[in-house]
Amino acid sequence: MLFITVILILPILYLLVRVYLILRNNLWGTADANILKFTMKKRNFGIVSESSENAQNNYIDVLYEFTENGKTYVSKRISLSLLDRQYSKVEIDHDPFLDVLRSGRCKIYYLKKFPKISVIKKDKYDCYSNLMLLSIYVFVVVTSYVIVLFIS
């Protein structure tokens, strides 16, 4: 029973920590980073037809490095969002964030206590996907528990 309880609580704690990190600005420092690699990856899901040629299936693939307290860190994390941002063909040429990445330098955010955890974009809206997943998870767990109680 303890094992099942731990398994059910771990995802909740994980998502709550992610939301806490997103919302607490004083935990983060900033640094200038060099972009080591920047490309757009194309991912196809299912059958791709000519009519879906402009489908949003382009993702950022980036690798950057920064120095903090004399130590160099390398990361590929873009944000704390659970979902990768998708770009259409039109957006790839006109998105300001992609222009910053193409420039070869950007400002990053890192956790002051754990500088190896860094992101290029830190947006309070990243917590919405985490909260949505958390609420769905809690709903499923509670509903399952009620069903099991009702059946037994």
What pLDDT was estimated at residue 45?
62
What pLDDT was estimated at residue 35?
97
What pLDDT was estimated at residue 67?
97
Tokens 């890192």 correspond to what residue? 110
What pLDDT was estimated at residue 149?
84
* Residue among 101, 130, 119 nearest 28 (CA): 119
What pLDDT was estimated at residue 56?
53
Give me the residue spans of the domains in the chain: 2-151
Q: Which residues of the chain have pLDDT under 70?
A: 1, 44-56
Q: SS in 3 state form for the chain?
A: CHHHHHHHHHHHHHHHHHHHHHHCHHHEEEEEEEEEEEEEEECCCCCCCHHHCCCCCEEEEEEEEEEECCEEEEECCCCCCCCCCCECHHHHHHCHHHHHHHCCEEEEEEECCCCCCEECCCCCCHHHHHHHHHHHHHHHHHHHHHHHHHHC
What pLDDT was estimated at residue 123?
79
pTM assigned to the model: 0.76
